[in-house]
Amino acid sequence: MRIVVLAGGIGGARFLRGLKEAVGPQADITVIGNTGDDIHLFGLKVCPDLDTVMYTLGGGIHEEQGWGRADESFAVKDELKAYGVGPEWFGLGDKDFATHIVRTQMLGAGYPLSAVTEALCARWQPGVRLIPMSDDRVETHVLIEQDGAKKAVHFQEFWVKLHATVPAEAIIPVGAESARPAPGVLEAIAEADVILFPPSNPVVSVGTILAVPGIRAAVAAAAAPVVGLSPIIGAAPVRGMADKVLAAVGVETSAAAVARHYGSRAAAPGDASGGGGQGAGLLDGWLVDEADADAVAEVEAAGIPCRAVPLWMTDVERTAAMARAALELAEAVRRA
Ligand code: FO1
């Protein structure tokens, strides 16, 4: 079975670990990774979400943190600080630096990011095919108001430095409008047997991937069923600060509102329940947590078959059960 997953960082990576456990080594999993979080620091290109997926599936992740390397040291960061060179708020460890040096060196030699990612994965053997959404530069910026003035800051500055404590007024995937899907992205979507949206951030992770021209349309037109898992349980994100960026796009922090935001593939064009106001909807199925069982009827009323199952990714076995539930729902809604 060919499974395509549109993934952000920590939530996407942890879901993928459960998915791999659920489907076993025979399954063919292609991960289309968000690169809107990418940042250039100290002359190096850092790809947090690609690396989080690669390290998590390759056994090198700092488990508690969810990003960066296990058993990390920070000698380079400390030396940079001694020179007065920052930013200090972004924690790049020594082992992690090596990844960014190799990536930047290969990019400088003319390799596209997709080829570089493949080369890095040759070391980590994540057991999936990891493709960046685009080889072109896309950088998510967040419009905020500070000291009475509006300004756009890099997503990492909003997320890590400001801890998303300043209201986000708009999310801008800079460069997305002229980016092209990386080689293999559209083909993987068209040839997939199942497409999954993991419980990643619907705005700055999955939303940014869908903002690359051609990807949203490919998902909407895919022969495979598209099933998503809610990143919201109750009125709060499973992890991270998804609520802060959902507000910026006018979406309530609830499992049902996120489903409506993605929209139903079954809804007729122009139907208010389909497409989140952005054209054709994307979902054939949606999973909410048991705590949100009340939302099932609301999601189904929007034309999206929905089931309530446990969605806390507390360990690999429970996450594998979530993945199985998503695949079962995909089978149940598969078009004849
Ligand atoms: N997240 C933090 O909260 N603080 C950090 O200092 C930090 C550094 C960092 C370095 C490399 C990397 O791959 C990820 C890193 N992250 C850090 C995570 C990252 O900011 C976000 O969680 C993702 O971009 C959102 O998916």
Give the pLDDT score at 267: 59
DSSP state of 158: I
Give the pLDDT score at 336: 57
CA gap 246, 170 in Å, rounded: 10
Q: Which atom of ligand 1 is nearest to the CA of 205?
A: 26
Q: Residues 49, 37: contact at Cβ < 8 Å?
A: yes
**Ligand 1 centroid distance, CA of 48 (Å):** 6
Res. 279 pLDDT band, cuts 50 70 90: very low
Using alpha carbons only, how large is the chain's radius of gyration in Å?
A: 19
- The residue whose C-alpha atom lies closest to atom 25 belonging to ligand 1 is 9
**Ligand 1 centroid distance, CA of 240 (Å):** 11
Give this prediction's pTM: 0.95
Q: Residues 51, 149: contact at Cβ < 8 Å?
A: no
More confident residue, 242 or 251: 251
List strand residue ranges (DSSP E) for the chain, in order.
Answer: 2-7, 28-33, 39-41, 44-46, 129-132, 139-146, 149-154, 170-174, 194-197, 226-229, 232-233, 236-237, 285-288, 306-308
> Ligand 1: which of 51, 90, 92, 97 to mutate, most ligand atoms within 8 Å of CB?
90
pLDDT digits (tens, 9 = 90+) for 104-119: 999 999 999 999 999 9
- Per-domain boundaries in the chain: 1-37+135-336, 38-132
pLDDT digits (tens, 9 = 90+) for 151-193: 999 999 999 999 999 999 999 999 999 999 999 999 999 999 9
- The residue whose C-alpha atom lies closest to atom 13 belonging to ligand 1 is 48
Q: Tell me the average pLDDT across 276-284.
A: 67
Inform me whether the pLDDT recorded for 275 exceeds 90.
Answer: no
Percent of the chain clearing pLDDT 70 (strictly above) = 96
- As a whole number of Å, the end-to-end CA separation of the chain is 17
Question: Which range, 141-150, 232-241, 265-274, has the best average confidence (pLDDT)?
Answer: 141-150
Give the pLDDT score at 120: 98
DSSP state of 178: G
CATH class of 38-132: mainly alpha
Res. 244 pLDDT band, cuts 50 70 90: confident
DSSP state of 215: H
Decide: 159 in ligand 1 pocket, CB within 6 A.
yes
Give the pLDDT score at 273: 45
Decide: 38 in ligand 1 pocket, CB within 6 A.
no
**Ligand 1 centroid distance, CA of 217 (Å):** 30
Q: Tell me the average pLDDT across 84-112.
A: 97
Res. 226 pLDDT band, cuts 50 70 90: very high
Assigned superfamily of 1-37+135-336: CofD-like domains (3.40.50.10680)
**Ligand 1 centroid distance, CA of 140 (Å):** 14
Q: Residues 158, 146: contact at Cβ < 8 Å?
A: no
Give the pLDDT score at 239: 78
CA gap 50, 35 in Å, rounded: 7
- The residue whose C-alpha atom lies closest to atom 12 belonging to ligand 1 is 48
